[in-house]
Structure 1
């Protein structure tokens, strides 16, 4: 029986060269940085418009799906800590084509998500500079973050750590301030729990509205899977990855439900939108001098943080594709600082797309970019669940080592997660977010054709490349 406990040596590892220096707290902050972005601060306005106060249930259900996802991902990532992550795992346990589709879909999703964040940045800067064209801010901030990603993984991690620290501190402060307004002060009659049932009740758009908002809530949680991508540069994946995943899911769930709940009790849900962050509206209603400007700065930091993390994720996924000979080999090269600079350059195309969309659709660029960027992430999440079904069976069959973390309720909870995600994907066809499927289905067809064409051109069969596995001391 094959033993899956040995560490592959450097010459067999297609992703060799990346330095394993990231620690548990850095992994958590990177994942939080990617997830706490415009999904909470700006995208929450879209979710509230779709569901009303029942958006609280939407975010709770979204958090449950992510909890199931992280359980599957933690187990597989500890077994195979690599920057190729879920793409490499799908390749090994399902098929090379599955790995190809996952890697490229996740790459394009993150590339376009960079465009979502940079589009949001132009919205935030309008708060201070209403007459300056948004394209100026897109170019300025994009250049700065490309420089950060082009230096070293530790430089990236340091920036991301402090970006995330600012955001988390701000959210905690918002929760404390909002709680004081609701409980510890003489609040105006227009502020209080009654806002959760005024103007149509808790379910103003019925269960359908709540269900549609679950999809929007998932955009807020996208980025938690970043821990799996960073595992290829983690110092001790066996310990760091499970801890970081658990901490991230718990913090995100708490932050989202508490902050949105407080916000809904202060701001009437009908006033929430995407022209201005609902969080800024809260500060304006409370009449705190300068508070709306401070909050806008924090939200700007959140968008920059998410954009920074998404540039990292898309770069590492393109690097993995190149090392697996599914992209030009030049994209798999590292510079003298052990950074895949060529892959980074290609992954900045989302910024160019965002700039073009912003110029063509200045009033709706955020919602449009959000819709098309979602497909790559949701498809990847769906494939994580499917891959886990194959992984667990084969891992036990081939005598894999006892892993420090295992998904509970297998296979039922894994299947439940996959079914919920698939149903949400189908749901988007009947909403304003059908652009996701209109983009995603042709994208998968294009990738499938590209895969078979590239495979046919190869006149020889490449030897199977193994995933790196953790060494047993």
Structure 2
């Protein structure tokens, strides 16, 4: 990377904005609507499933924070991987991550378009998708400070809805609501027991839950634009980890306590979302409409953050000579305009696919990004192991913020990710994603000799300047 610089990015993000950006990536439609899929597999034991997956997400977040506090530069964890595992690993990880984010941002704007049709079914899906795509792009082209503020309030809506859900749900379980007696935890063991589908069901649910935490790595990508990364990144990491664990574990625990898991697992739409059921029981009018607004905001928040992550990833690739140099350029207010625009390819594909095949586009676009996301996590843990090993060998002081128990925890978390990645190949929900992702990874490997040759030419040109 060019001398440890920020590549033209501005340090304008505050600690509160960084924390919300990470939540924006990790709390999306996967929790509000996708939790029903995990409940289908695990039943009431979904509580333990999300807790187990949370431990891996915590390890990932802490490993990332440890590395980027030492190296708070453009590219986040991708730049660290490039430094400690070599250019090929840095190239593979960042292009994989970019592809995953580009696909995901398209899927999220499609979701937003579908939510609008809940109120106005006559609106063409392609029109709603195009509108939201333009909004997300404009926000990302603005100064990062404005982006951070928009994302803060997008995420705040989700957090408020989750807090309301947890408070109302806990009250209903423990003491009851007006006109409703307390339900207790009997539903956790009714309808077939705590784990009605056995160990196989639990493991399939673990795979789904692990994928739900995708986005927690966003905090590492903000290091180059944080005002005080040595303070802000650890603080944001602790807050995000705590909130994620509480929201996912408590929310799913409350769902299966209030609604029989056989009913909560039906899912499939706003009116069937397990979150809507609680608000209806609590006597909140227009519960489905309120939740539709929440999940619309969640989708826009996720799309906003995901485009940010994609653009910063390809910007760092350009800084390292692994992407066209034009993508390293930034505007007068520090936005990597070229990187943002090239990352909108997922939005363009989403708008086109929404016009041609509105019924199939959303699950397909979200699905094919999962494989690349898990490859990214695996390389993060490999990079962290190399990071720790080199610092120990060189007698350097420990990082100011550390992953407890490493390198043992690093190795265990990496093994967990590998097992999840393999399992996805044999599931109906993610089998197609695994096939597409493995082909894409193979193509990246085949392109590496050409990219390496171009990078060497770029390095010679830089040295002769």
Normalised by the length of structure 2, the TM-score is 0.92
- Quickly say closer, same or farther: Cα 1:412–1:13, change in 2 above 3 A: closer
Q: Aligned residue pairs: how many?
A: 456
Matched, 1:129 2:120: yes
Matched, 1:412 2:404: no
Matched, 1:96 2:87: yes
Residue 33 of structure 2, aligned match among 25, 32, 42: 42
* 1:447 paired residue number: 444
- Quickly say closer, same or farther: Cα 1:353–1:301, change in 2 above 3 A: same
* 2:434 paired residue number: 437
* 1:52 paired residue number: 43
Find the aligned partners of 2:460 and 2:70 in 1 and give their Cα distance: 22
Gaps of 5+ in 2: none
Matched, 1:20 2:17: no
CA-based RMSD: 2.2
User: Secondary structure of the residue that 1:91 maps to in structure 2?
Assistant: helix
* 1:230 paired residue number: 222
- Quickly say closer, same or farther: Cα 1:160–1:458, change in 2 above 3 A: closer
Matched, 1:346 2:338: no
User: Secondary structure of the residue that 1:430 maps to in structure 2?
Assistant: coil
Contact 2:94-2:313 within 8 A present in 1 as well: yes
Gaps of 5+ in 1: 1-7, 466-473
Contact 1:49-1:273 within 8 A present in 2 as well: no
Matched, 1:314 2:310: yes
* 1:274 paired residue number: 268
User: Secondary structure of the residue that 1:12 maps to in structure 2?
Assistant: coil
- Quickly say closer, same or farther: Cα 1:124–1:279, change in 2 above 3 A: farther
- CA drift of 1:196 comes to 2.3
Find the aligned partners of 1:44 and 1:426 in 2 and give their Cα distance: 21
- Quickly say closer, same or farther: Cα 1:54–1:459, change in 2 above 3 A: closer
After superposition, give the CA deviation of every residue in 1:68-112 in whole Å (9 maximum; x if it has no partner): 112211211111112312211111111110000011011111111
- Quickly say closer, same or farther: Cα 1:233–1:354, change in 2 above 3 A: same
* 1:5 paired residue number: none
* 2:70 paired residue number: 79
Pairing of 1:260-409 with structure 2 (within 5 A): 260-271=252-263, 272-276=266-270, 277-359=273-355, 361-409=357-405
- CA drift of 1:422 comes to 0.2
* 1:3 paired residue number: none
After superposition, give the CA deviation of every residue in 1:378-436 in whole Å (9 maximum; x if it has no partner): 11111111111111111222243442112221221110000000000000111011123
Normalised by the length of structure 1, the TM-score is 0.91
Contact 2:42-2:202 within 8 A present in 1 as well: yes
User: Secondary structure of the residue that 2:222 maps to in structure 1?
Assistant: helix
Which stretch shows the higher mean deviation, 36-45 or 148-157? 36-45
Find the aligned partners of 2:201 and 2:318 in 1 and give their Cα distance: 42
Find the aligned partners of 1:215 and 1:118 in 2 and give their Cα distance: 24
